[in-house]
A = this chain, B = another copy of it.
Amino acid sequence: MTRLTLAIDAMGGDFGPCVTVPAAMQALASHSQLHLLLVGDPDAISTLLTTADSALMARVQIFPAGSVIASDARPSQAIRQSKGSSMRMALELVKEGKAQACISAGNTGALMGLAKLLLRPLEGIERPALMTVLPHQQKGKTVVLDLGANVASDSTMLMQFAVMGAVVAEEVLAIRSPRVALLNIGEEESKGLDSIREAAAILRDLPDINYIGYLEGNDLLTGKTDVLVCDGFVGNVTLKTLEGVIRMFLSLLKSQGEGKKRAWWLTLGGRLLKKRLVKRFGHLNPDQYNGACLLGLRGTVIKSHGGANQEAFTAAIEQAEQSVRRQVPGRIAARLQAVLPKSD
């Protein structure tokens, strides 16, 4: 494994450096070839590093940034005033080749806009999309996009998301001729929004895409498809609904039996079942797969949840590391030319 450098917007997210800095140290401890550039308020970052292991510190560099983009700022305004902000500087480090990827838990709209501005979309892509990989019941994985990079999407954008998703499924997850489906409110052809029906018509005619039709929300985890495509609004609400239910389940499971006096053997039996259930559902724990990849750019950008904790932000850093090692943007670019319909 070769040396790999990632830039971290240390100020982004609900907790800023309190989460990003310990997560960075955790990632460094597990990946010996990893170097991290922490971009943000140097004082706030340094304070959190005073007790850090000196061996790890040799692979950390702090890049001072004078401002932070607020998570509730209007993206357009935030982008105009972004100069010197931690998010923009982290992206610039990627643009300048000083880092191979950037991770931020900050304002999604601003990150999307700045990434598009600085790293530019791949040829054939109008708008990048946020993608994640969800584990499903058949023990495989489903690529889901867009998760909120765009609020509304027309049929051309949905088609491009489908192509990018198929490339990720094929090149990264090693699924041959991945099945591609559109998320809709029914499986019949006549169902849903115009944009979805039009995208279906385009996808049916793309020879390199294994388009299988519409799927409904209840099939999100059933493994009926390898790629599931939707607009950013629906994708965002769907993923957050899923996360809400899983979190509720895991917290309920954790609290079960606590504080109750019961025979030790009953407790032990319960614990065994609990352990198995957490294992089965743990892989759906949002903290395990935090980090959505902004697909369609000439560089790797990972968006972490704003509310990510240390474990979750570490997962996002590791996703960036994987994406760089597997050369996702390059592979997408190469495949796009073959798969996308020629404009002439």
**Residues of the B chain whose Cβ atoms lie less than 8 Å from the Cβ of A276:** 256-257
Nearest 7 interchain pairs by C-beta: A269-B269, A217-B240, A218-B244, A217-B241, A270-B273, A72-B188, A266-B269
- With contact pairs A266-B265, A270-B272 given, residues A185 and B244 touching in the complex (Cβ less than 8 Å): no
Across the interface, A244 reaches (CB within 8 A) one of B152, B221, B271, namely B221
- With contact pairs A216-B240, A238-B241, A244-B217 given, residues A193 and B151 touching in the complex (Cβ less than 8 Å): yes
Complex CA distance for A248 and B242, rounded to whole angstroms: 12
A74 touching B190, Cβ below 8 Å:
yes
Across the interface, A151 reaches (CB within 8 A) one of B74, B183, B192, namely B192
**Copies of the polypeptide in the assembly:** 2
**Residues of the B chain whose Cβ atoms lie less than 8 Å from the Cβ of A152:** 193
By beta carbon, the residue of chain B nearest A218 is: B244
Q: List 24 A-B contacts (CB under 8 A).
A: A71-B188, A72-B186, A72-B188, A151-B185, A151-B192, A183-B237, A185-B236, A216-B237, A217-B236, A217-B239, A217-B240, A217-B243, A221-B244, A221-B245, A221-B248, A234-B237, A241-B241, A245-B245, A252-B281, A253-B277, A256-B273, A257-B273, A266-B268, A273-B274
**Residues of the B chain whose Cβ atoms lie less than 8 Å from the Cβ of A15:** none
1/0 contact trace for A25-59 toward B, CB 8 Å? Answer: 00000000000000000000000000000000000
Asked if A297 CB lies within 8 Å of chain B CBs, one says: no
**Residues of the B chain whose Cβ atoms lie less than 8 Å from the Cβ of A265:** 265-266, 268-269
1/0 contact trace for A260-294 toward B, CB 8 Å? Answer: 00000111111111101100110000000000000
**Residues of the B chain whose Cβ atoms lie less than 8 Å from the Cβ of A337:** none
A252 touching B233, Cβ below 8 Å:
no
A222 touching B244, Cβ below 8 Å:
yes
By beta carbon, the residue of chain B nearest A222 is: B244
Interface centre among A137, A218, A246 (most CB of B within 10 A): A218
- With contact pairs A265-B265, A266-B268 given, residues A252 and B277 touching in the complex (Cβ less than 8 Å): yes
By beta carbon, the residue of chain B nearest A247 is: B218
CB distance from A130 to the nearest CB of B (A): 11
Asked if A220 CB lies within 8 Å of chain B CBs, one says: yes
**Residues of the B chain whose Cβ atoms lie less than 8 Å from the Cβ of A126:** none
**Residues of the B chain whose Cβ atoms lie less than 8 Å from the Cβ of A242:** 217, 241, 245
Complex CA distance for A71 and B187, rounded to whole angstroms: 11
**Residues of the B chain whose Cβ atoms lie less than 8 Å from the Cβ of A252:** 277, 280-281
Asked if A106 CB lies within 8 Å of chain B CBs, one says: no
The A45-82 residues at the B interface (CB cut-off 8 A) are: 71-72, 74
**Residues of the B chain whose Cβ atoms lie less than 8 Å from the Cβ of A248:** 137, 221-222
Complex CA distance for A163 and B2, rounded to whole angstroms: 60
CB distance from A254 to the nearest CB of B (A): 12
Asked if A178 CB lies within 8 Å of chain B CBs, one says: no
**Residues of the B chain whose Cβ atoms lie less than 8 Å from the Cβ of A137:** 248
1/0 contact trace for A117-154 toward B, CB 8 Å? Answer: 00000000000000000000100000000001001100
**Residues of the B chain whose Cβ atoms lie less than 8 Å from the Cβ of A230:** 237
- With contact pairs A185-B148, A256-B276, A272-B266 given, residues A219 and B244 touching in the complex (Cβ less than 8 Å): yes
**Residues of the B chain whose Cβ atoms lie less than 8 Å from the Cβ of A190:** 72, 74
